[in-house]
């Protein structure tokens, strides 16, 4: 038995190392939060809380994207580990069938309280992010045909808050 575990462990490690990938483990991933996971929702807002310029993204293949880091964020890594082929798009740019893979609603300077971050200008508060999610749910209902299909689909997703 020990040899079997050793071989399967080696196969797993090599698969991870060489990027062998299967289907995503879940159909979609929805993200709510602040600057720790914002991936571009603040780019078009009148706000001091923006990261769409250098040195942000200096180590990211696409350069500055609105992420408040030099590269990937934790939710980018989680999406990769879940098997997604691409990063979860920000709500500000997500459209059409793309939303079926998930959406990132996070906004820098956001908080649970409505007034959090107001000194920095525009931001999408937590309640605003929930309203945006409700709009996405309605789009999912339209794409899948009815509320039951949408509910069955959405209950399989992962949510980061």
pLDDT digits (tens, 9 = 90+) for 85-141: 999 999 999 999 999 999 999 999 999 999 999 999 999 999 999 999 999 999 999
In a domain, 8, yes or no: no
What is each CA distance from 17 to 10, 14, 20, 23, in whole angstroms? 10, 5, 8, 17
Identify the band that residue 14 occupies on the pLDDT scale cut at 50, 70 and 90: very low
In a domain, 48, yes or no: yes
In a domain, 11, yes or no: no
According to the model, what pLDDT value does residue 22 have?
Answer: 62
According to the model, what pLDDT value does residue 23 have?
Answer: 77
Per-residue pLDDT for 59 more than 70? Answer: yes
Strand partners, 160: 31
Residue with structure tokens 């007034």?
Answer: 115
Total domains, the chain: 1
This prediction's pTM = 0.85
DSSP 100: G
Mean of pLDDT over the chain? 89
Residue 107: give the domain boundaries: 22-159
According to the model, what pLDDT value does residue 21 have?
Answer: 58
State the DSSP H helix or E strand holding residue 29, giving kind and residue range, or none if neither: strand 29-31
Dmax over CA atoms of the chain, in Å, equals: 62
In a domain, 17, yes or no: no
In a domain, 148, yes or no: yes
In a domain, 5, yes or no: no
In a domain, 132, yes or no: yes
State the DSSP H helix or E strand holding residue 61, giving kind and residue range, or none if neither: none
In a domain, 86, yes or no: yes
Strand partners, 90: 104
According to the model, what pLDDT value does residue 61 have?
Answer: 87
């Amino acid at each position: 038995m020990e040899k079997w575990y050793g071989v399967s462990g080696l196969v797993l490690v090599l698969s991870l190392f060489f990027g062998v990938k299967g289907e995503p483990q879940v159909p979609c991933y929805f993200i709510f939060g602040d600057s720790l996971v914002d991936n571009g929702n603040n780019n078009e807002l009148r706000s001091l809380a923006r990261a769409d310029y250098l040195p942000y993204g200096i180590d990211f293949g696409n350069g500055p994207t609105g992420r408040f880091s030099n590269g990937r964020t934790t939710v980018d890594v989680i999406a990769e580990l879940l098997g997604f082929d691409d990063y979860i798009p920000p709500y500000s740019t997500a459209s059409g069938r793309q939303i079926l893979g998930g959406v990132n609603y996070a906004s820098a300077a956001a908080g649970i309280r409505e007034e959090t971050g107001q000194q920095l200008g525009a931001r999408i508060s937590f309640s605003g992010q929930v309203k945006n999610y409700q709009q996405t749910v309605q789009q999912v209902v339209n794409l899948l045909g009815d509320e039951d299909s949408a509910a069955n689909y959405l209950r399989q997703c992962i949510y980061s808050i």
